[in-house]
Structure 1
Amino acid sequence: MAINWQGVFPALTTKFTVEEELDLPAFITNLQAQLDAGVDGIILGGSLGEASTLSNEEKNTLVQTAVEYVDGQVPVVLNIAEGATREAVRIAKEAVGLGVSGLMLLPPMRYKADERETCTYFKAIATATDLPIMLYNNPIDYKIEVTLAMFDELIALPTIQAVKESTRDVSNVTRLRNRFGDRVRILCGVDTLAMEELVMGADGWVAGLVCAFPRETVAVYKLVKAGRIEEARAIYRWFLPLLELDIHPKLVQYIKLAEVGAGIGTEHVRAPRLPLVGTERDRVLAIINEGLANRPELPQFS
């Protein structure tokens, strides 16, 4: 299935039982909520999906479940975040057989590669598959920045088509657009900057709080792209305290708790993560409950 790298792409959480096993019924419940809201694709196995705690078999199970359930309605994108280049290449080659439509690539994990090493890593994966690729540029969390000069080199490969823009510098959208035009699709990867980047010309939004609030996320995107800025801004102002849950080291626990409040998830996580307790849990719940109590009525949009 082709990907045009536009619209809302939820970075889905991985649902677990209290025993830390995959909870596929809960996963499907949330997946259906995303489809009902009109998302444009889904991303599996990202940081929000607790990928570092999943076995390869579990990742494959999630992908196969999603591909079968989605049945071509939207593209399914698999995240690759490996420490070894050959392991990343192996996963990329196997991904086609799993039925995924594209890949999202993090830079080498657990090693701060320099520019030459990072480009070589991305190229090795991009030449091992025909699947379209979105690079994840997040120097804040992963300590490696994909610079404009690196993009110059990388987009010589036709499979590299998009970037999840998470530098937290809104002006980088304009830099990318000025340098590459539409050759590189730009998807905002930071919830608290999404409307700003969409207004500045980003093509899409790789979203986190969409896992709990899919309709509102899609509404902001659709309204901005329709030029209905004031209506989008009203939703976004309501949304911002919730979106700020996405920029915390415990974003997984925070967003899963929001999924519970919205009735489309569970808060079970896999150790070493632990469920929230005490004053921290109370504080996050207060934000979620305030948002739910004042959830806006959404305008009509196509």
Structure 2
Amino acid sequence: MIELNWEGVYPAVLTPFKENGDIDFEMFAKNTEAQIKAGVHGIIIAGSLGDAAVLEMDEKFELLTFTIKVVNGRVPVILNIAENTTKNAVNFAVKAKQLGADGLMLLPPMRYKADDREAVEYFKAVANATDLPILIYNNPVDYPVFVSLAMFEELQLCPTIKAVKESTRDLTNITRMKNRFRDRYKILAGVDTISLEALAVGADGWVFGLVDAFPKETVAMYNHVKNGEFAKALELYRWFMPLLELDIHPKLIQYIKLAATAEGISTPYLRAPRLPLVGEEAERINKVIADGIASRPKLD
């Protein structure tokens, strides 16, 4: 197991499909290699952007086994947990450890909007069932559970809960977390369109979406910030913004798969109920992608 420090760039990687709906493992490996070559710090699989909602449980474990083989110890491999019941989430965490995952990203219970007490007990049950380090996904916009400061206060008792994917879209929440807990939790910003601002107020890294299509540019932007080269980071960020906005839409999977396909590191295929884009929307999104590729800045 590779030690996780929860700093840097962590792609929430896509799950490419073949036209018949099967997982395209060859293309998945190609994208993973592009991420690692660019210098990412870990790989998160079967997340929201990785089509967690339409992957069968066995497919998620098959993907984990395949990813571990492809990565071969170069970066940590983190498996997302998105289950409906506490029992299934616990069993999922145990199986992930057995198969060799280095860490877990943990969503709140799916389908049921748990209250604060229920969500905390769910998180605790999973955390107590494994010694794998856990990243709590705090995204009340897409998953209606808001993990509050009071809830994180309770979760401090769980040593395996190490970090939070901060996707509340409220930048002040990063400062509140740092003021309350100092370095108890590492914070990975999870919204592409406020990623630079998140680093400026103390985030330790990113869980990124458009890195799936543009790994070199994403890692370069992060490194510029860490090297104190803010003007260079800002130049990249301004170029990137129209593309980053593809991340904050219900069709982010369709959009980002198209961007990664344009870069030769994904396929555009989907599993229903998601469908390919048509008409004006297809023209608009493909133009955003084409314009971004045509105007991409030269990296140092």
**What amino acid sits opposite 1:148 in the alignment?**
L
Which residue number corresponds to residue 39 of structure 1?
40
User: 1:28-47 deviations in whole A, cap 9, x for unaligned?
Assistant: 01000001100000001111
Which residue number corresponds to residue 241 of structure 1?
242
Residue pairs, 1:92-241, within 5 angstroms: 92-241=93-242
Using the TM superposition, give the Cα deviation of residue 270 of structure 1 relative to its aligned residue in structure 2, in angstroms: 0.8
* d(CA) in 2 for partners of 1:97, 1:244: 37
User: 1:171-202 deviations in whole A, cap 9, x for unaligned?
Assistant: 11111111111110000000001000011110
Q: Secondary structure at the match of 2:105?
A: strand
**What amino acid sits opposite 2:37 in the alignment?**
D
Identical aligned pairs, as a percentage? 58
* d(CA) in 2 for partners of 1:277, 1:98: 40
* d(CA) in 2 for partners of 1:74, 1:100: 11
Structure 2 unaligned blocks of 5 or more = none
Which residue number corresponds to residue 21 of structure 1?
22
Structure 1 stretch 45-54 or stretch 159-168: which is displaced more? 45-54
Normalising to structure 1: TM-score of the pair?
0.98
Normalising to structure 2: TM-score of the pair?
0.99
1:268 aligns with 2:275: no
* d(CA) in 1 for partners of 2:280, 2:66: 37
Residue pairs, 1:277-288, within 5 angstroms: 277-288=278-289
* d(CA) in 2 for partners of 1:100, 1:168: 29
* d(CA) in 2 for partners of 1:57, 1:145: 29
User: 1:142-189 deviations in whole A, cap 9, x for unaligned?
Assistant: 111000011011011110000000000011111111111111000000
Q: Secondary structure at the match of 2:142?
A: helix
Q: Secondary structure at the match of 2:96?
A: helix
Using the TM superposition, give the Cα deviation of residue 276 of structure 1 relative to its aligned residue in structure 2, in angstroms: 1.1
Residue pairs, 1:45-64, within 5 angstroms: 45-64=46-65
In the TM superposition, structure 1's runs of 4+ consecutive aligned residues that sit over 6 Å from their partners are: none
Give the number of equivalent residue pairs. Answer: 299
Using the TM superposition, give the Cα deviation of residue 278 of structure 1 relative to its aligned residue in structure 2, in angstroms: 1.4
Using the TM superposition, give the Cα deviation of residue 54 of structure 1 relative to its aligned residue in structure 2, in angstroms: 0.8
Which residue number corresponds to residue 296 of structure 1?
297
Q: Secondary structure at the match of 2:47?
A: coil
User: 1:210-251 deviations in whole A, cap 9, x for unaligned?
Assistant: 000001111111111111110000000000000000000000
**What amino acid sits opposite 2:275 in the alignment?**
L
Q: Secondary structure at the match of 2:163?
A: strand
Q: Secondary structure at the match of 2:207?
A: strand
* d(CA) in 2 for partners of 1:282, 1:219: 29
